[in-house]
Amino acid sequence: LMKAAVARGVEPAQIAQHCDSVSLCFSQGLGALSGAVLAGCKAWRVWKLLAGGMRQVGVLVAAAHLRLQRAEVTLRRDHNNAWRFAEGIHVQDSPLWSINLAAVETNIVMVNVQRAWLSPTELCNRLRAISEEEVAETRQAVSFLLLSWSAQTVHTVWHHNISACDTELARRNLKFVARRCQE
């Protein structure tokens, strides 16, 4: 809900007005320790069934409140970092992978892998590994964790702990791996 609201430049209530019930997770995307909110017509009954006995949740509420206050700035930064990464893939114009820039609206980037060169799992493994050659060439050790999403797709997500500098390192790592795969 929050990612969509920030990406569209609207208040969350504008999106939620069309829903009977809304769930908002504070740990995913917002970076709180844990916690979630369930609101709506049927929410009270479900809450009582699943977690109605929770007590002393003030610490969780405080963390969630802090993250909600910073949500727009944090999510906007995450979206911008994801866009910079996607743009880096696009300008590489590599035969190994491609990206649909129009589909990058939030902090999630889906990379299409050309199976003739390598599989999504192989790409994930190469980006996770830190080779001596890479360290010698780039003077930095970067381990980039991705998820093999499907037979031709890799799923990437930016979150509040990934900086613009980290994003640039990921772009460089991808460029290094592309060159090594093509050699």
User: What average pLDDT does the segment 106-119 reach?
Assistant: 85
End-to-end, the C-alpha distance of the chain in Å comes to 43
Looking at per-residue confidence, does 155 or 52 come out higher?
A: 155
SS3 state at 100: coil
Please tell me the predicted confidence (pLDDT) of residue 55: 62
Q: Which CATH number fits domain 75-181: 3.40.1260.10, 3.30.420.310, 3.90.1150.10, 3.50.50.60?
A: 3.90.1150.10
Q: Report the distance separating Cα 9 and Cα 4, nearest Å.
A: 8
Kindly list the domain boundaries of the chain, sorted by start residue.
Answer: 1-74, 75-181
Please tell me the predicted confidence (pLDDT) of residue 131: 74
Q: What pTM value is reported for the model?
A: 0.80
Torsion of CA 90, 119, 175, 146, to 10 degrees: 90
Please tell me the predicted confidence (pLDDT) of residue 11: 92
User: What average pLDDT does the segment 58-74 reach?
Assistant: 84
Distance of CA 154 to the CA centre of its chain: 12
Please tell me the predicted confidence (pLDDT) of residue 76: 93
Checking if the pLDDT of 104 tops 90, the result is yes
Give the chain's mean pLDDT. 83
Tokens of 134: 């890479």
